[in-house]
């Protein structure tokens, strides 16, 4: 599926919002991404997950001659929602490639957030993933930090991150930024929204009103009011 078609789908269902936004990291942007909206739209979500599963599976074959993944894992909450849908899709692609009698099942590993922004998995899963091959998944990545934390988590329990699949790599993150040995990153969308620092924001300079319903717009305006000379 082509990038422009994917972008259009995301815009139509309200994932992509255009205007003037303050992001949580303080930067300003002409685009805001609310990936939660995708999870509510069953048809579009399945369509994109199917495209992502196929792409990841193709890349796994191409880059590491791999025909299966033992598990799918991603940062809570978006990564969990995706893993639930992607794992059975990966499993059925494996059965298609290796034959229906293959015992290569693909398990969903759910993560939960812990203090300090890291992630954790259940004790049972942490024992199970030793020496198993995992596909790391994420909805949107800007710096790759959340995926990197999941990569560390998998390594800590002696699992093997064997690839990464991201719906939207908006930060142009490279695979070597995602973990120690992630062999590939599959992505549906690489379009980069325009970003500004608050000091150099062209939209602020043109007095384009800041959206307060999304991101940190409301906080930014409140602070500005407080410190206005
Ligand atoms: Zn601005």
Q: Do residues 51 and 64 touch, judged by C-beta distance below 8 A?
A: no
Return contacts of 170-178, CB within 8 angstroms, 24+ apart. 170/33, 170/140, 170/141, 170/142, 171/141, 171/142, 171/143, 171/144, 173/141, 173/142, 173/143, 173/144, 173/147, 177/143, 177/144, 177/148, 178/136, 178/141, 178/144, 178/147, 178/148, 178/151
**At what angle are helices 78-98 and 42-64 packed, to 10 degrees?**
60
Assigned domain for 20 exists: no
**C-alpha dist (Å) from residue 170 to 7, 100, 141, 173, 194:** 12, 37, 6, 8, 10
Q: 98 alpha carbon to ligand 1 midpoint, in Å?
A: 52
Assigned domain for 32 exists: no
CATH code, 174: 3.40.50.2020
Domain count, the chain: 1
Assigned domain for 23 exists: no
Q: 142 alpha carbon to ligand 1 midpoint, in Å?
A: 18
Residue with tokens 């930067």: 27
Assigned domain for 139 exists: yes
Q: What is the pLDDT of residue 226?
A: 80
Q: 20 alpha carbon to ligand 1 midpoint, in Å?
A: 6
Assigned domain for 117 exists: yes
Instruction: Report d(CA 180, CA 161) in Å as an integer.
Output: 9
Assigned domain for 226 exists: no
Assigned domain for 178 exists: yes
Give strand pairing partners of 133.
Answer: 160
Q: What is the pLDDT of residue 199?
A: 93
Q: What is the pLDDT of residue 176?
A: 84
Find the mean pLDDT for residues 194-221.
93
Q: Do residues 110 and 122 touch, judged by C-beta distance below 8 A?
A: yes
Residue with tokens 């739209």: 41
Assigned domain for 153 exists: yes
Token code pair at residue 153? 């988590």
Confidence at 12, pLDDT banded by 50, 70, 90: very high
Find the mean pLDDT for residues 190-199.
92
Instruction: Report d(CA 77, CA 145) in Å as an integer.
Output: 15
Give strand pairing partners of 44.
Answer: none
Q: 205 alpha carbon to ligand 1 midpoint, in Å?
A: 7
Q: 210 alpha carbon to ligand 1 midpoint, in Å?
A: 7
Q: What is the pLDDT of residue 57?
A: 92
For ligand 1, a single-atom ion, the residues with CB < 5 A are 28, 201, 203-204
Range of the domain at 51: 37-218
**Average pLDDT score, the chain:** 92
């Amino acid at each position: 599926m082509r990038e422009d078609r994917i972008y259009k789908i995301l815009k139509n269902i309200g994932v992509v919002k255009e205007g003037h936004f303050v992001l949580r990291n303080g930067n300003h942007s002409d685009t805001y991404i609310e990936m939660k909206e995708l999870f509510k739209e069953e048809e579009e979500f399945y369509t994109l997950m199917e495209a992502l599963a196929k792409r990841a599976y193709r890349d796994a074959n191409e880059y590491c001659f791999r025909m299966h993944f033992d598990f799918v894992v991603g940062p809570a909450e978006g990564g969990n929602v995706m893993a639930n849908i992607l794992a059975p899709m990966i499993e059925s692609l494996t059965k298609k490639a290796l034959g229906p009698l293959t015992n290569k099942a693909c398990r969903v590993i759910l993560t939960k957030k812990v203090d300090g922004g890291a992630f954790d998995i259940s004790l049972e899963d942490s024992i199970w993933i030793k020496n198993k091959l995992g596909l790391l998944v994420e909805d949107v990545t800007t710096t790759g930090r959340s995926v990197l934390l999941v990569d560390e988590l998998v390594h800590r329990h002696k699992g093997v991150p064997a690839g990464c699949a991201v719906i939207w790599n908006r930060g142009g993150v490279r695979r070597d930024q995602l973990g120690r040995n992630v062999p590939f990153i599959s992505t549906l969308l690489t379009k980069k929204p325009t970003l500004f620092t608050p000091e150099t924001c062209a939209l602020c300079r043109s007095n384009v009103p800041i959206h307060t319903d999304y991101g940190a717009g409301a906080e930014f305006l409140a602070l500005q009011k407080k410190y206005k000379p």
